[in-house]
Amino acid sequence: MNKTVYFDNNATTQVAPEVREAMMPFFGELYGNPSSMHAFGGQVAKHVEKAREQVAAFFNCQPDEVYFTSCATESDNTAIRGAADWFGKDMKMVTTAVEHPAVLQPARRLKALGHTVVELPVNHVGQFDLDQLRAELKGTKNALVSVMWANNETGTVFPVREAAEIAKECGATFHTDAVQVAGKVPIDMQTVPADLLAVSGHKFHAPKGIGALFVRRGTKIKPFLLGGHQESGRRAGTENVPYIVGLAKACELAMQNYEAEARQIAALRDKLQAGILATCPNVRVNGDLDHRLPNTLNVSFEYIEGEAIAYHLSDEGICISTGSACASGSLDPSHVIRAMGVPFIAVHGSIRFSLSRYNTMEEVDYVLEKLPPIIKNLRDLSPFGPDKGPTTYQ
């Protein structure tokens, strides 16, 4: 196989051809500034508002609840820091130990500034305790809850609707990082009572550099970016029109194919998982197998390093990840895998496969052909293993 086999779609996705086509006019003749007073800019503004309506349909919300950003990291920071600025010094934030760094780092910054921040632990499949969430919120006046909809490393889907309902019962503001569910499962803001929700276009076949933040009517947050009137004063800066239009098109495409696409991708994932378990000894699947995204498979190979597996697969044209793309370059084991209590002999050997609509059974077969000998060779070179005597770890 001469082409690249790309199984790293939780890091970024291929831009859909239909999305590229929708964007092109705004790199050419429709280049006006949508905030301009003249008709040339005004015609562009109409496309921005149409895109807002399309994204609102994707969220099942009102168009005035959609705000365009540069990415989900900006959306998450806007939600968290905007809520903290509104509440003031006596805010309490409750989140989980397995959130994306775009949530954990702002949370820890708030803690350093004097806010109370609680990171809920997770169990061995990566789920947190709803009763513990309720207990942390009991009697709290100004509270922000931030719980991701699905984990970017394991694909574990959290009970976001139930968590949001608990937050509402306790008078807390609820934010969810929905980056990994966008385009994979429907997002319905009429049934999930979240106040704030973040997505990023490049995770579901729109380009990098565009995101959105849902802000429910009546939710109190202060702007993160200042300097202009754009986005109803919520987010200053000239609108990135081509990318806004591209995000809207990606939303439209996702809504057309949710169920069929999820079945197609889950079939690929399940074949890959079964093949790995059948051909590679001393391997474990990480995450909640009953509640996970259709496209994500995270596995730990005991006694070897995930980075070594990734490098050897890359030599065969296969792209995978050892965790979050935002943590690449770090040799520390994933904070998600550690939080789940994966044994030391396996925690460093964790890798993630994440698929998309553009992957095929032929590609799964190719990975299952190349992966087992790589695992065997690395195990042969490793000084550790069940057949190499007792091992003591410090």
Catalytic residues: 326
Side-chain half-sphere exposure of 48, counting CA atoms within 13 A: 25
Number of neighbours of residue 28 by Cβ within 10 angstroms: 8
